[in-house]
Amino acid sequence: MKRALLLAAIVLIGFVVFGCTQQQKQATFSEKDARTFVNDDLNAKFADAEIKGITEITPSATNDSWQIKARVTFNYSSPCPVRMNVYYDYPRKGFVATPPEYVTRDCFVCRNTATCIIGTPEEAIIASHTMNGSTAVTNYITAHSNAVPDAKFYTEYVDTDNKTRHKDVWLVKWLSPTTNFGLLTLISDNGEIIKSWEVARSDFV
């Protein structure tokens, strides 16, 4: 009888240890591994994208998976970049991502919306030549079809010409390899074009 009880106790302890081990494995599933797997999947599915990568990663509530948000951008170096967000629940759902969420598409921003929010570089690039007050940029990229854009967000930007401080703005740069000057455009995060001005190529940063 004692032997049977001892055997049962050993089996029970074995199950407890196994369960704890499995729980620990789930809880400590490597973020590095998750990033590697998702980046490999992005490279395989979106090989033609100029920009792709993970923007957010957090453990699930049950601590057995990773909630991952990735950015995929096509044609970033053009006036009309296409950006989408791809979501993963890994490893719980493997590489079965939810349908992409388009951030920019058809070269439009702030269309059919009561509140305009420019939240990504791609939106800022499109806004720089499509919103009210974008004539300078439109003329520049029309005259120089090889102009390449870039956009950066500033929580505070100081306009050195008039010493004005601007909060939460995008600075969009346009530069053609065949001209000696580029164009800078300052845009608020609600899509208002504040200012556009020419900059000599030698002063372009």
CA 158 to chain centre: 26
pLDDT for 21 beyond 70: no
Q: What is the pLDDT of residues 45-77, one digit of tens each?
A: 999 999 999 999 999 888 889 999 999 999 999
- Give the separation between CA 25 and CA 19, rounded to whole angstroms: 10
Provide the 10 A C-beta neighbour count for residue 9: 10
The overall pTM is greater than 0.85: no
pLDDT the model gives residue 52: 96
pLDDT the model gives residue 60: 87
Is the separation of the CB atoms in 104 and 126 below 8 Å? yes
Q: What is the pLDDT of residues 87-138, one digit of tens each?
A: 999 888 876 667 889 999 999 999 888 899 999 999 999 999 999 999 999 9
**Residue 184, amino acid:** L
- Give the separation between CA 72 and CA 42, rounded to whole angstroms: 8
* 92 three-state secondary structure: coil
pLDDT the model gives residue 95: 64
